[in-house]
């Protein structure tokens, strides 16, 4: 789920008596898949593909039966690139009762989401550039316990 907030520069060319919202939030709901490409022990590159259902409210809804309420619907594919840098050391923990390694990352990302609404004037391109914190859990699939030492 992604949310984008844009200011309305000029009213959309639609026939309505209702005032159009000044802020035009766009919500993308969908699925994403990614491929992690390790660069070295502390850095990784992630390519993420997304497909989503897009909605945008043009006017405010006064009640559930508001006949003048306008909401655009559409489709949005997306492509995002992430570059993660590990911060700190690996830490062993339990994740859903399984052993796991916890990592902390500083994540730089660049994404592009073309949006195709049922109103051509509202369709366009959304760009996403940012820096984020990412918490990563990697479940340990198999492990072997060391035998106790004689020093104990």
Whether pLDDT at 2 is above 70: yes
Whether pLDDT at 66 is above 60: yes
Number of domains comprising the chain: 1
pLDDT of amino acid 15: 72
Task: Tell me how far CA of residue 7 lies from CA of 1, 56, 110, 125, in angstroms.
Answer: 20, 12, 21, 15
What is the distance between the alpha carbons of residues 146 and 84, in angstroms, rounded to a whole number?
A: 33
pLDDT of amino acid 113: 94
Indicate whether 150 belongs to any domain: no
Output the pTM of the full model. Answer: 0.76
Q: Which residues pair with 111 in a beta bridge?
A: 80, 128
Indicate whether 151 belongs to any domain: no
Query: Which residue, chain included where needed, has tokens 């104990």?
Result: 152
Task: Look at 15 and 104; give whichever has higher pLDDT.
Answer: 104
pLDDT in tens, 73-102: 999 999 999 999 999 998 988 888 888 999
Tell me which residue range forms the domain holding 56.
2-139
Indicate whether 38 belongs to any domain: yes
Indicate whether 146 belongs to any domain: no
Q: CA 89: distance to chain centroid? A: 26
pLDDT in tens, 6-35: 776 777 777 777 777 777 788 899 999 999
């Amino acid at each position: 789920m992604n949310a984008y907030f844009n200011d309305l520069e000029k009213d959309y060319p639609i026939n309505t008596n209702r005032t159009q919202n000044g802020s035009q939030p766009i919500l993308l709901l969908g699925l994403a898949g990614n491929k992690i490409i390790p660069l070295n022990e502390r850095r990784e590159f992630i390519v993420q593909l997304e497909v989503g259902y897009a909605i945008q409210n043009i006017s405010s809804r006064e009640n559930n039966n508001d006949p003048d309420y306008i909401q655009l619907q559409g489709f949005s594919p997306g492509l995002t690139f992430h570059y993660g840098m590990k911060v700190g050391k690996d830490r062993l923990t339990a994740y859903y009762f399984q052993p796991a390694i916890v990592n902390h990352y500083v994540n730089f990302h660049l994404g592009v989401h073309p949006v195709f609404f049922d109103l051509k004037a509202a369709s366009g391109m959304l760009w996403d550039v940012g820096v984020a914190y990412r918490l990563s859990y990697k479940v340990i699939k198999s492990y072997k316990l060391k035998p106790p030492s004689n020093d104990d």
